[in-house]
Structure 1
Amino acid sequence: MPKSKRNRPVTLSKTKKKGREHKEVIVSGIRDAVDSYTSVFVFTYENMRNLKFKEFREQLKSTSRFFLGSNKVMQVALGRSIADEIRPGIHKVSKLLRGNSGLLVTNMAKDEVRQLFDEYEDYDFARTGSNATETVELKEGPLDQFTHEMEPFLRKQGMPVRLNKGVVELVSDFVVCEEGKPLSPESARILRLLGNKMATFKLYLVCRWSVDEFELYKEAPDDSDVESL
């Protein structure tokens, strides 16, 4: 096995002492994991939900480790070029850490990992600023799903409602959101009340590295295309 370069000194960006120490812990953890596991995957994600990701990570904790955080710190840990990479060819992984990305370091078979990622998705309520995946319009008339106590709150969200004999009623048609347009805070709240889950938390594999193989599955997005954690 080629000699590991993981013990080389690392120059990190200018930070306060506490921040630097934290980065050094991450770098050390990644390098330890690369030495201990057989494969390294880069993955990207959409609509991250921390609780759901924690549950997914727990399923694999006996065979794998996940790393999320600063792409630059993870790149430093792996090495950004042939000259400073910690294992032969692993700088190719580093170059694909862009945007909403993370590392999976694992002993699982590659086909098993790909199946898990391909099959995993979880639905949740969309957040303010997310693009609506469909147009939602409520028609004039009674809104039986809401109790009369909800009428003042619904009015504050911009809905043209009134109480009619104790029943919440729309006095005119109301468009909650339009497909492809960003959700306002009010729209996001109404969709939650309606039980309409527009966000899909999804993980995508970008590439895999092992001692004897590098596989590219899909291109990682540019930093400008996604919002970091």
Structure 2
Amino acid sequence: MPKSKRNKPYSLTIPKKKGLELKTKLLQDVRNCIDKHEYVYVFSVRDMRNSKLKDVRTLWESSRFFFGKNKVMAIALGLTPETEYREGLHKVSAQLKGDVGLFFTSEPPDKIHKWFNGYQECDYARAGNKATHNVTLPQGPLSQFQHTMEPQLRLLGMPTAMDKGVVTLITEFEVCKQDAVLNPEQCQILKLLAIPMAIFRISLLCYWQKEDSSFTQLCALEQEATVLTASDEESEPNSQDVEPGSPDRSVD
């Protein structure tokens, strides 16, 4: 006989939620880094890849990266001059909007800017990215592919067939056009062709210095910088304007 559902045990205890605990830990970790390091940077990422960001984190193991949960990090820094953890940090918290993160370091700014301005890694494009150039395959054999790949290529939309055991394009095939938005099939074809069209790059938006509590706003191309002291008047950020980051993108 099947077991009766009436005999199924039910737990009467209330499970403990870890959300508040994790947010409290993140807040404390951010403030510990403020006490430990001399500089706090806000950075943005182009063509985000978790593996690439982890590689950068490894290269800068003496520093600390936080990416995700912007609202919690903004609260840790302080949203207003009255609630900021240290003088001038409310200007940093106002920058935490969108796909940005915090970078804590004690290395001098010249070294930091030179390295990040020169760092970039190529990767394969994902659906939604724009093609950087035209890619068209001529009619004829595709000797780089094994014969077992032919069904997969046809499913991706390529007009292929087997000719004497060799994967062959029946007609000329246009994979993508420059500046056109790529779909998943095009991205997969470009990956199979070993053609990267994405560049992982980290841009520094601004930084705060502990020594004099100064805030420096950096331009996108790192060509100019405007230095503001902590005593300069500036409109206070609205906590409702700070967008929280996704929890799965957090990097400690």
Same fold (TM over 0.5): yes
Q: Structure 1 residue 46 and structure 2 residue 46: aligned?
A: yes
Two-structure CA RMSD over aligned residues (Å): 1.7
Alignment of 1:9-88 (within 5 A): 17-62=17-62, 64-88=63-87
Q: 1:193-224: CA deviations, max 9, x gaps?
A: 100011100000001101312111136xxx9x
Whichever residue aligns with residue 197 of structure 2, its letter is: M
Structure 1 partner of 2:236:
none
- Mapped to 2, the partners of 1:90 and 1:105 lie a distance apart of 13
Q: What is the 5 A alignment of 1:186-225?
A: 186-211=185-210, 212=212, 213-218=214-219
CA shift at 1:40, angstroms?
0.5
> Match for residue 102 of structure 1?
101
Over 6 Å off, 4+ runs: none
Match for residue 136 of structure 2?
A: 137
Find the aligned partners of 1:156 and 1:59 in 2 and give their Cα distance: 40
Shift of 1:72: 0.9
Q: Which has the larger radius of gyration?
A: 2
1:129 Cα shift? 2.0
**Counterparts of 1:217 and 1:66, CA distance in 2:** 19
**Aligned partners of 1:136, 1:163: CA distance in 2, in Å?**
22
Correspondence for 1:10: none
Provide Cα deviations, 1:95-147, integer angstroms capped at 9, x if missing partner: 11111101011110011111111111101111122221112111111112112
Gaps of 5+ in 1: 1-15
- Please list every run of 5 or more consecutive structure 2 residues that lacks an aligned counterpart in the other structure: 1-15, 221-240
Q: Which amino acid aligns with 1:136?
A: V
Q: How many residues align?
A: 207
Deviation string for 1:22-63 (max 9, x for gaps)? 11110000001101111101100011111121111111112x
Q: Percent identity?
A: 44
Q: TM-score, normalised by structure 1?
A: 0.86
Q: What's the TM-score, normalizing by structure 2?
A: 0.78
